Structure 1
Amino acid sequence: MTDVDSSDGLMTPIRPEQLDPGAVIAQSLDNQWVPAPLARKMIERGESLDDVARQRLTDVRAEYFRSLINASQVVVNRAYFYNNDAITVDLMEEGEARQAHRRLLASGAIVPFLLTERHPAEEPPAHLHVRQAGFTAWQETLAGLPAGDRVRCVRMSWDDPDDDRENRERSRTRLFQPFAEKVQGLTAKDIDILAAQVGVRPRDADRFGQRLGEVVAFSNSLSVNRRQVVRNTLYEEFVSVPGSNVAEGRYDAGKPFAGEIKQLLDLIYSVNLADALGRYPLTPVGSLRRVVLQEAREARATPGIVQDPEQLLTFLRRQTFAAVQDHLTPAAVNGLALQDIWRLRQTAAWNAYVRAFGALTASPEAFRDSVGEVFDCYVRLNSEILKLARERRQARPNPWRPVVEVVVTVGAAVFTAVSGDDFWEVAGAALPLAVSGSLSGSVQLVLRNRIHGRQEQRFAREIASVRLASAREWEQFHDLVRRLPGYRESAGPGPTGRAATTTQDNEDLPEY
């Protein structure tokens, strides 16, 4: 690796493979991300992102903090540091928040992703939309780093400093081309499953499939005419109000299935960058999960594939957990400040939590033996969050009934087991295999308060992908699940597509 543009002692350039094994790309920091319920209201009311800025800022900032709590390292597109208010608010003036951000940068907890830039403080091209006050604050934040501190910056390639040819080529082959391929593969999916997962009513599934066909045909026409297939172009055609700037986030209720297509494009955009970097996409609560894409395998970073029905059943069997001593948890992580997140990451509880989860994802086959440790660490971590919230008088504690939830999806079927706090239940929602067709899926681990609350601290991550070899294995697994004590099943697809309750352009590389 060539150590370029680092003579000022500010930057350590790294390649994707040098990121932490548990690094994530937080979808909530995407400039177009909106919680699904809010997006529906925006479309109905004709509102833009600016119209819902206050509510959206609260949601984005909460997810930003959760990503820093639940992952060892978060990769952030450089533009978000100065164009995303959820981050910029901590950088606007000298003080504890800006200092905490510097510490998170210097420790490698936050890693800027550079597309065409070679330095984090580099001026963006003049034709890009930049919030100048935010960019000035970002430059000042970097300039104020203590001597000897360095910011890890990840890029596809640091070679060829004169013409950047290798970086452009890797960006094309790892980012732009896979994005186009994922979009163009939408009509190869089981449309009935896809429709159910994005919330389309069964009677509208055929019309939805036809609209997807138009998206694919438009994307194909761009490709054959040697034009880049990028999200903004697809937004202009199928999602945004004609004549509006895509960045405004004004979505057109008159375009068929605009909201559902937006969800799919945002999901593809998010997982595509994660794939390019070989790491995890962290899907926010309520957003579409990767399983919607009906891939033969989940994200490249997923450590294992479960192919045996008996092994798959292990994830749903009842576990024994240690007694819970703490009965309260803060109701709002976003009541904390960035400096609290930094302090939390220095605690023994946070480090034990990250180690325990890392061990689980490294060996998902040892789920039965290791999930209890993850759960106990999660409880201790929430105790630390409560202490910080009390200091800020932001605790507003709710009854604390921590549970671990395992969600197994296979095709259009979803099976959920919830355990903890002297409580256990397992439920399923399944279509006949002849209808669902697919034999692939995923296992997701969710840690949360049994008492639902929008602002509760929670954790959700894919820990394994599923690939059964035949309809016979599917029936065997389904039969084993039916025998579990207290099992109940509903007919019809479950909410398999939802996460449980986690660039720039120039003449050569358009905005990704």
Structure 2
Amino acid sequence: MTDVDRSDSLMSPIQPEQLDPGAVIAQSLDNQWVPAQLTRKMIEHGRSLDQVGRRRVREVRAEYFRSLINASQVVVNRAYFYNNDAISRDLVEEGESRAAHRRLLASGAIVPFLLNERHPAEEPPAHLHVRREGFSAWQETLAGMSSGDRVRCVRMSWDDSPGDQENRDRTMIRLYQPFTEKVQGLTAKDIDVLAAQVGVAPEEADRFGERLGEVVGFSNSRRVRREQVVRNTLYEEFVTVPGTNVAEGRYDRDKPFAAEIKQLLDLIYNVNLADALGRYPLTPVGSLRRVVLQEAREARASTVGVVQDPEQLLTFLRRQSFAAVQDRLTPQAVNDLTLHDIWRLRQSPVWNSYIEAFGALTAAPETFHEAAGQVFDRYVRLNSEILKLARERRRARAAAWHPVVEVVVTVGAAVFTAVSGSDLWEVAGTVVPLTVSGSLTGSVQLVLRNRLAGRQEQRFAREIATVRLAGEREWAQFHDLVRRLPGYRDEGGPARAGTASTTTQDNEDLPEY
């Protein structure tokens, strides 16, 4: 009998295919995540992650709560529970927040991802950076779980093979090798497009391309020496100040294009974990979209539908009409709520109805015109429930709210966006030349947000379908159909397409991923 067939007094071990169909990986919980604009300011002024901690944690915490509101299940790298203050603060303080965290763990709403560990409370290897106060609080949180509660923990394999070899092999194949391949593929992209999407000026594109060549060359040299290519190693060489711990987040302004390379490494790192688990990443506002990677890949196995017909793809961008919204208020900041509020919200019939409607849409994306309205209606009701909870916290203020629906279709390196609601209709495209041959892949993302977007407000952004067009002929057909839509405008240039609007070693242990 293997470990996966049993559970101890605390843990229920699961494998990736046992995650909920609606499970997501929240990119903002990455302990190196910083919005692109803030990254540049950190580099310019020589500030570390701790020195911008107050602003950064506020944004991370808003994304953390948003993921728990809008997804049935959130997968979290175990290290983030104790190294990310946006999460660990609920554990450090005894009381209702820690209790709420235990309930979310026990219900399977939060699932720790384990790399080498076989237990969530296991002591990390001595060479890894650990915030001791956070780790002690994490251990105490687990130790205080009620009798009979189980924490679902996901791992590549739980097999009792000698030296945990099966888990090591699967982790290498699903995580470390794809990460290396994505890094080594950077110079195979259209450098001008890539440069524009990460914010490099046209006159600097050649120099940027040369720097990417150095990243790829460094990666190649490690691989031929049979050394693993991991993000921390690349950070040390191309991003962080020499002699500092990567965890401090001191990014070096003397290293060319440190901010842009960091963005690319972070994007690759986070989509790679999502791919390994067969689920989608949640991309925060201002972070690079996957479209930047200019991938020509087969649609990965997932729980969402695959759209291959250009005319069917067009249906997502056609005009939608929605019922008028009476209650035009929303919490000014989602993170004025508490984790206990989030737990209460997830117990409500309104939340369950909302999640059910979204699940039905992703199960049958071809019903978009009928199903999107139901999702929007339940989203509006959910927002009213969130506002009710916020008002119970007297410090939480309400803001004007004009909810709209945004559909984002990416194909190759092009992005098309349609926005409707509040008597508004806009459809625009950011089109770049094709950079790959063969099939073109992408996705359809549904965003529900305030028309007057604020970074701290409640909003929803999720993938609802995978796109796979057979080739250039189908792409041209789709582009022609979109250009005929009333009011369509071509925004030109790839820069806007690059960021979300709104949404590893043969030693005894694998290195920190």
TM score, norm. by length of structure 2: 0.95
What does residue range 160-175 of structure 1 map to in structure 2 within 5 Å? 160=160, 163-175=163-175
Larger mean CA deviation between 432-441 and 82-91 belongs to 432-441
Deviation at 1:137, TM superposition (A): 1.1
Structure 1 pair 479/228, CA: closer, same or farther in 2 (3 Å)? same
Query: For the residues of structure 1 that align with 2:124 and 2:194, how far apart are their CA atoms?
Result: 38
Secondary structure class of the residue paired with 1:52: helix
User: In 1, Cα distance between the equivalents of 2:442 and 2:279?
Assistant: 18
Query: Is the Cα–Cα contact under 8 Å of residues 441 and 466 in structure 2 kept in the other structure?
Result: yes
| Structure 1 residues 11 and 178: alpha-carbon distance in aligned structure 2, compared to 1, 3 A threshold | same
Distance 1:357 1:265, change over 3 A: same
Separation (CA, whole Å) in 2 of partners of 1:476 and 1:444: 21
Q: Tell me the distance in 2 between the aligned counterparts of 1:469 and 1:7.
A: 45
- Residue 36 of structure 1 corresponds to 36
Shift of 1:179: 0.8
Given the superposition, is the C-alpha separation of residues 336 and 121 from structure 1 closer, same or farther in structure 2, using an over 3 Å criterion? same
**Deviation (angstroms), 1:4:** 6.4
2:259 is matched by which residue type in structure 1? G
Change (3 A) 1:490 1:155: closer
Measure how far apart 1:120 and its partner are: 1.1
Q: Distance in 2 between matches of 1:405 and 1:165?
A: 45
1:243-258 → structure 2 map (5 Å cutoff): 243-258=243-258
**What pairs with 1:465-484 in structure 2 (closer than 5 Å)?**
465-484=466-485
Q: Deviations over 1:240-293 (max 9, x none)?
A: 111211111111111111111101100111011111111111111111111211
1:77 match: 77
Check the 8 A contact 1:69/1:345 in 2, yes or no: yes
Q: Distance in 2 between matches of 1:303 and 1:393?
A: 40
Number of the residue aligned with 2:182: 182
Distance of 2:374 and 2:402 partners within structure 1: 17
Say whether 1:147 aligns with 2:142: no
The SS at the match of 1:495 is helix
**1:310–1:58 CA distance, 2 compared to 1 (3 A):** same
Residue of structure 1 in register with 2:492 after alignment: 491
Cα distance change on mapping 1:359 and 1:296 into 2, 3 Å? farther
C-alpha distance 307-382 of structure 1, shift in aligned 2 (>3 A): same
What are the within-5 Å matches in structure 2 for residues 269-308 of structure 1?
Answer: 269-297=269-297, 300-301=301-302, 303-308=304-309
Structure 1 residues 503 and 106: alpha-carbon distance in aligned structure 2, compared to 1, 3 A threshold? farther
Q: Is the 8 A contact 1:22 1:71 kept in 2?
A: yes
Q: Distance in 2 between matches of 1:399 and 1:504?
A: 52
Instruction: Measure the CA separation in 2 of the matches of 1:83 and 1:342.
Output: 22
Partner of 2:454: 453
Percent of matched pairs sharing the same residue: 80
> How many angstroms apart in 2 are the aligned matches of 1:423 and 1:296?
34
Using a 3 Å threshold, how does the CA distance of structure 1 residues 504 and 88 change in structure 2: closer, same or farther? farther
* Corresponding position of 1:376: 377
TM-score normalised to structure 1 length: 0.95
Instruction: Please state how far the C-alpha of 1:89 moved relative to its aligned partner.
Output: 0.7
The superposition leaves residues 309-356 of structure 1 with CA deviations (integer Å, 9 ceiling, x where unpaired) of 211211110112122122111111000000000001011111111111
Secondary structure of 1:79's match? helix
CA–CA distance in structure 1, aligned partners of residues 69 and 78 of structure 2: 20
Distance 1:491 1:149, change over 3 A: closer
Residue 106 of structure 2 aligns with which residue?
A: 106
Equivalent residues in 2 for 1:11-22, closer than 5 Å? 11-22=11-22
* Alpha-carbon separation, structure 2, partners of 1:436 and 1:248: 41
Change (3 A) 1:503 1:155: farther
CA positional deviation for 1:492: 2.6
**1:423/1:481 Cα in 2 relative to 1: closer, same or farther (>3 Å)?**
same
Distance of 1:505 and 1:469 partners within structure 2: 39
Aligned to 1:323: 324
Partner of 1:86: 86
Aligned in 2, Cα 1:431/1:175: closer, same or farther, shift over 3 Å? closer
1:299 Cα deviation (Å)? 5.2
2:336 alignment counterpart: 335
Q: How many residues align?
A: 512
Give, in whole Å, the separation in 1 of the partners of 2:191 and 2:305: 27
Partner SS, residue 243 of structure 1: coil
SS of alignment partner, residue 91 of structure 1: helix
- Distance in 2, matches of 1:283 and 1:271, equals 9
85 and 323 in structure 1: CA distance in 2 versus 1, 3 angstrom threshold: same
Structure-to-structure mapping, 1:41-440, within 5 angstroms: 41-160=41-160, 163-297=163-297, 300-301=301-302, 303-431=304-432, 439-440=440-441
Q: Secondary structure at the match of 2:90?
A: coil
Residue aligning to 1:10: 10
Cα distance, 1:436 vs structure 2:
11
State how far apart, in whole Å, the 2-side matches of 1:506 and 1:394 are: 52
CA contact (8 A) 2:75 2:111 kept: yes
Q: In structure 1, list runs of 5 or more residues that go unmatched.
A: none
Match of 1:119, as an amino acid?
H
Give 1:364 deviation, angstroms.
1.9
Task: Identify if the C-alpha distance between structure 1 residues 359 and 264 changes in structure 2 by more than 3 Å, giving closer, same or farther.
Answer: same
Structure 1 pair 292/169, CA: closer, same or farther in 2 (3 Å)?
same
- Report the residue type matching 2:219 in the other structure: S
Range that drifts further, 466-475 or 118-127:
466-475
TM-fit CA distance, 1:442: 2.7
Distance 1:161 1:118 in 2: 13
CA distance in structure 2 between the partners assigned to 1:133 and 1:5 by the alignment: 33
Write the letter of the residue equivalent to 2:309.
D
CA distance 1:466–1:140, change in 2 (3 Å): same
Aligned letter for 2:351? W
Note closer, same or farther for the CA distance 1:66–1:7 as it changes in structure 2 (3 Å cut): closer
CA distance in 2, matches of 1:321, 1:394: 32
